[in-house]
Structure 1
Amino acid sequence: MKKTNAMRILDKNKITYITNEYEYDESDLSAVTMAKKTNVDINKLFKTLVLFGDKTGYLVACIPGEMELDLKKMAKVSQNKKVEMVHMKDLLKITGYMRGGCSPLGMKKKFPTYIGNSCLNFETIVISGGKRGIQIEIDPNKLIQVLNIHVDNISIYL
């Protein structure tokens, strides 16, 4: 497996992680499908979302795969009046990642990053490895540490 930017950052910081490769279908890149294909608990599979805040600019949210981002909570914790999801067509230009392979690690620029507090319920969580078909399993505390992530209640059940 070729190293991704996300893996290089973890290696540079001497953080232990496990990678997992899986077959993906471009027509269904949902977290629920990925969790089923990889046999990962959907609650410990965290998807990466990119947003734009009216005061802070771009920001990143990581939430459990079965949950939905609460935009009002996200705006409040990020000190914005309003946040909105970036358009999928702009994701690559902003982050350097494609939909389905967007990792909170290794984006073109370092954006303020937030993660759902349920991540602390697990010894490890699973995030995108920075490329479609690659996942990284990591201690959430190590991820929080390396990215200086803000931990808060930012999601709701679908």
Structure 2
Amino acid sequence: MTDKEKFPMTLAIRELIAHNVNYTGHLFPYQEKGGTKHSSEQLGVDEHIVIKTLIMETEDKTPLVVLMHGDLQVSTKQLARELGVKTISPCKPEVADRHSGYQVGGTSPFGTKRKMPVYMEKSIADLEMIYINGGKRGFLVSLSPKEVLRLLNPQLVTVGVRE
């Protein structure tokens, strides 16, 4: 049995395989509301390279994906300004689940149920390796941010702020 056979076969993993992405899966004990702090501690990596996948929406309920460093928050005001909309806010968990096809806490930007525009904090592209959700709670994949750029073609933004 290969390592890849031990990991969940999620829509995200199917998309990574379909596009010949070189990735490594990482399972860890999921903790409700543990977020990137918990997953980075479990995997022994810097929280800055653990990337959150956030499903947000504009004032007219248009959904979008935001990829952000684990140790930063999204300035929704700055993001709204960059997108030229009035407001942006996080989706309620059940709405995010409907748009992405994933359960909050296991949301991956790959293989989403609904195609949505993706916005990525610009400095993520400068990292050598990132850890991002593989489509299931307690399951991250590590890969090069260049693969995220290639697959998702995100718009790069500068909207990250310290808590």
- Normalised by the size of structure 1, how large is the TM-score? 0.93
Contact (CA 8 Å) 2:50, 2:132: kept in 1 or not?
Answer: yes
Residue in structure 1 matched with residue 152 of structure 2 by the alignment: 147
Structure richer in helix, relative to its length: 2
| 2:74 aligned with 1:69 | yes
Residue in structure 2 matched with residue 12 of structure 1 by the alignment: 18
CA separation in 1, counterparts of 2:60 and 2:120? 19
Letter matched to residue 37 of structure 1: Q
TM-superposed CA distance for 1:37, in Å, is 1.1
TM-superposed CA distance for 1:83, in Å, is 0.8
Residue in structure 2 matched with residue 157 of structure 1 by the alignment: 162
CA separation in 1, counterparts of 2:113 and 2:156? 22
Q: List alignment gaps of at least 5 residues for structure 1.
A: none
1:85-124 correspondence runs (5 A): 85-124=90-129
CA separation in 1, counterparts of 2:153 and 2:71? 24
Contact (CA 8 Å) 1:4, 1:129: kept in 2 or not?
Answer: yes
Q: List alignment gaps of at least 5 residues for structure 2.
A: 1-6
Contact (CA 8 Å) 2:56, 2:96: kept in 1 or not?
Answer: no
SS in 1 for 2:25: strand
1:124-135 correspondence runs (5 A): 124-135=129-140
- Deviating beyond 4 angstroms after TM superposition, the runs of 4 or more aligned structure 1 residues are none
Contact (CA 8 Å) 2:28, 2:42: kept in 1 or not?
Answer: yes
CA separation in 2, counterparts of 1:48 and 1:150? 14
Contact (CA 8 Å) 1:55, 1:81: kept in 2 or not?
Answer: no
Superposed CA RMSD: 1.4
SS in 2 for 1:49: strand
Letter matched to residue 106 of structure 2: G
| 2:146 aligned with 1:137 | no
Aligned length: 157
Counterpart selection for 2:37 from 22, 32, 37: 32
TM-superposed CA distance for 1:55, in Å, is 5.6
TM-superposed CA distance for 1:56, in Å, is 7.6
Letter matched to residue 2 of structure 1: P
- Normalised by the size of structure 2, how large is the TM-score? 0.90
SS in 1 for 2:149: helix
